[in-house]
Amino acid sequence: MGDSNKEDLEVNGIQSVYAYKSAGWRHPLVLYVDGVLDEGNLGAIARSAYFLGVDAIVTPTRQSAPWSHIALKASAGAAEAIPIFKVNQATDFLGQSARAGWRIYASDAVPPAQLPALQGASSGKQYTPPTSEVIITQARSAKRLPVEHCPVESHPTILMMGAEGTGLRTSLLNLAHFKVGIRHGRDVDEIGVDSLNVSVAASLLCYEMLQRPKPRTRDNVLF
């Protein structure tokens, strides 16, 4: 993934194949962190990713905080224990990964809920909001996936996290198969806090995406 200098090779070696702990049920989860400029945030992301079981972290070679002593300290040693890769061209990396069967999830704002088409007096049904605070939608529509959807159960997964404040670049959002966001916990936002710190958001999303799905029983299977 990209060119490595002599120092990188001495630290990381030349290993090209990495194992992951599937626990017998899941595919790998890789965290792609784009444009995060705060070294403390980068280290905190590595710490959470390692603790939660993320299999690797990828960052771009440009427009990203370095893995400095500040980032390493903030990671509490996790940055030295989890595989970390750098890529020169993020779009090439993501495009090649998608063609190899990986599915890409982009962290983004949660779109407004769409009410069911049959809702109303004629249907007699009342809209029930989703039970999960993490919302997954199709990348090019606001159609929400079922709450039971577990990315890593179905396919090798890349979760993209964007820069502080601005989020992911449009060129990267366009490569995503799905978008994933965290629903605001307040009905009214009085002060304009419309998002979480990127390291906190990464922690919550990785935690949710790595949860083992509940066993399917006769009660929750339609067919």
Q: Which of 144, 172, 145 is nearest to 160 (CA)?
A: 172
Whether 138 is in a domain gets the answer: yes
Q: At what angle do helices 39-52 and 198-209 cross, to 10 degrees?
A: 10
Confidence at residue 43, expressed as pLDDT on a 0 to 100 scale = 97
Radius of gyration for the chain, computed over Cα atoms and rounded to the nearest angstrom = 19
Q: Is the pLDDT of residue 221 over 60?
A: no
Whether 17 is in a domain gets the answer: no
pTM comes to 0.81
Confidence at residue 127, expressed as pLDDT on a 0 to 100 scale = 43
Q: Tell me the C-alpha to C-alpha distance, in Å, between residue 213 and each of 10, 38, 92.
A: 40, 34, 32
pLDDT band per the 50, 70, 90 thresholds, residue 166: confident
C-beta of residue 102 within 8 angstroms of C-beta of residue 152 = no
Confidence at residue 110, expressed as pLDDT on a 0 to 100 scale = 73
Q: Higher confidence at residue 221 or residue 43?
A: 43
Residue 29 and residue 37: Cα distance in Å, rounded? 23
Whether 84 is in a domain gets the answer: yes
Whether 102 is in a domain gets the answer: yes
Q: Higher confidence at residue 10 or residue 132?
A: 132
Confidence at residue 153, expressed as pLDDT on a 0 to 100 scale = 95
Confidence at residue 22, expressed as pLDDT on a 0 to 100 scale = 84
Report the chain's mean pLDDT, rounded to a whole number.
Answer: 83
Whether 3 is in a domain gets the answer: no
- Our count of domains for the chain comes to 1
Per-residue DSSP letters for 124-169?
Answer: TB-----S-SEEEEETTS-PBPPTT--HHHHS-EEEEE-BTTTBS-
**Range in 32-41, 142-151, 191-200 the model is least confident about:** 191-200
Confidence at residue 58, expressed as pLDDT on a 0 to 100 scale = 97
Give Cα 71 to chain centroid, integer Å.
Answer: 20
Q: Which two tokens stand for residue 44?
A: 């905190």
Whether 161 is in a domain gets the answer: yes
Residue 107: phi and psi, rounded to 5, are -70, 125
CB atoms within 10 A of CB 212: 11
Confidence at residue 203, expressed as pLDDT on a 0 to 100 scale = 96
Residue 192 and residue 157: Cα distance in Å, rounded? 32
| CATH code, domain with 97 | 3.40.1280.10
Whether 214 is in a domain gets the answer: no
pLDDT band per the 50, 70, 90 thresholds, residue 53: very high
Q: Tell me the C-alpha to C-alpha distance, in Å, between residue 30 and each of 92, 158, 190.
A: 16, 5, 35
pLDDT band per the 50, 70, 90 thresholds, residue 77: very high
SS3 97: helix
Whether 52 is in a domain gets the answer: yes
Q: Could you list the residue range(s) of the whole structural domain that residue 59 is in? A: 24-110+131-184+194-207
Q: Which of 53, 31, 52 is nearest to 42 (CA)?
A: 31
